[in-house]
Amino acid sequence: MIAVDVLLNANLETNAETAKDLDASGADGLFTYEGKGDVFFPLVRAGTVTNGMVYTNIAVAIPRSPMHLAYQAWDLQRLTGGRFALGLGSQIRPHIENRYGSIWESPLRQMREIVEATKAIFDSWQHETALNFEGEWTRHTLSSPMLTPEPLQCGPPPVWLAALGPKMTQLAGACADGLLVHPFTSHEHLIKHTIPNMMTGLNSRGKDPSSFTLTVGAIVGVHDGTEESRGRAESIVRGMLGFYGSTPAYRPVLETHGWGDLQPQLRQMTKKGEWGKLGDLFTQEHLQALSVVGTPYEVGEELAERFGQTADRVALSIPQGIDPSWLTDLVRGVKNS
C-alpha cells in the first residue's frame, strides 16, 4: 500500500504541534523543502513527536559539503531510530550560483560525487574503517575518534535523489537508495519516462527495485464539494502549475502530452512580471493530467489509482494547505482503494 507523506511547515515555533496533528491525521511521513527556512531544523522537532518517516525533499546538495550532510543526516537518523531519509537535489544553475554563491560545473557528475562521498562517510562511521574518499570536487581523508560518531544500531540513513530529466533519473537508480519525483509530473510521464530511466540506472548496478524507494510528488487541491470551494482550489493549483511550468527544466513533462509550446509562453509571462496570470493558461485537461483536485476522499482514491501500483510513497504538495480532518479523509481514501 502506498504511503502518504505531507509537507511540514518550517515554523520552528509551531511545527512540533503541526507535526503531531499531521501524524494523528494518518500521514505516514513528513518532509521539508528548501524554502524560507532551514531544511533540517524542523525535522529535529518533528522526529521526537511523530512515528512516521521524516525526510528532506529536498536539501540542495551542490553548495553543501558531504561531511556537513553526513553529520546532519546521522544525527537525525539516530534521533528518529531509523526513520530519516536524506533527500538531495541539484536545484538549477541560477540558484546555485546567484542564491547560494556556489559552483555549477557539471551537475550530474557533482551530484554523483556528493552521493558517493556521503555514503562513503556513512560507511566509514558505521564500520569504523578508515575514511578515504577523493573526488573531483571534494576530498575526505581526515578522521579521528574525537570527530567520528558512534555506529548506528538502525544503520545509516538512505540517500534519496531528486530527478526529473532522464540522465539525473538514471543516476538516481545507479547510485542512490531512492528517487524523489518532482510534483510537476503526470502518470503518463512517470510510466513513459521516469520509471524506464530509473530502471536503466538500477540495472546498471544490478540493484533489486524492491530495495529502492520511489517517492512521487503530487500537486493536490482539495475542496468541500461546493462549486465555490472547487473553484478556489483549482485556481490555487493552476497558479502552482504555472509557476513550475514556466521553468525550462519542467518542459519535458508538458511535452509528454504534446503541450511543450506552453512552457515558453509561461516563461515570457514571467519576464513581463505577469506572475498572477500564469494559471490562466491551464485548461481542465491540463489540470486533470498534472494535478489531483477533488474532495479529500476523492483525491485519496485518485492518488491510489494513479500511483498505487508503481510508487512506494506519494509526497503531497498542497498549495492551499489542508485541515487535519480533511487530511484524515484523504488518507482514508488512499488506504481504502
SS3 helix, strand, coil % of the chain, rounded to 5?
50, 15, 35
Write out pLDDT tens, residues 198-209: 999 999 999 899
Q: What is the pLDDT of residue 324?
A: 86
Q: What is the pLDDT of residue 143?
A: 87
Taking the domains of the chain in order of start, what are their residue ranges? Answer: 3-219+299-335
d(CA 330, CA 332): 5
Neighbours of 5 (CB within 10 A): 23
- Sorting pLDDT into bands at 50, 70 and 90, what band is 13? confident
Q: What is the pLDDT of residue 224?
A: 93
- Sorting pLDDT into bands at 50, 70 and 90, what band is 181? very high
Candidate from 68-77, 287-296, 315-324 with smallest mean pLDDT? 315-324
State the distance between the two ends of the chain, measured CA to CA, in whole angstroms.
9
- Which of 329, 319, 334 shows the shortest CA–CA distance to 33? 319
Q: What is the pLDDT of residue 14?
A: 87
Residue 11 pLDDT > 90, yes or no?
no
Candidate from 10-19, 42-51, 201-210 with smallest mean pLDDT? 10-19
Q: What is the pLDDT of residue 52?
A: 94
- Strand-pair category, 213-222 with 133-134: unpaired
- Over range 76-95, report the average pLDDT: 95
pLDDT higher at 10 or 106 = 106
Q: What is the pLDDT of residue 9?
A: 83
d(CA 148, CA 303): 43
- Angle at which helices 227-245 and 262-271 pack, to 10 degrees? 90
Q: What is the pLDDT of residue 239?
A: 95
d(CA 79, CA 231): 42
- Sorting pLDDT into bands at 50, 70 and 90, what band is 316? very high
Q: What is the pLDDT of residue 161?
A: 98
Write out pLDDT tens, residues 111-153: 999 999 999 999 999 999 999 999 999 999 998 889 999 999 9
- Over range 223-252, report the average pLDDT: 94
In the CATH scheme, what architecture does the domain 3-219+299-335 have? Alpha-Beta Barrel (3.20)
The mean pLDDT value of the chain amounts to 94
pTM, two decimal places: 0.94
pLDDT higher at 335 or 323 = 335
- Over range 300-304, report the average pLDDT: 97
Q: What is the pLDDT of residue 294?
A: 96
- Which of 234, 243, 111 shows the shortest CA–CA distance to 184? 243
- Over range 249-272, report the average pLDDT: 94
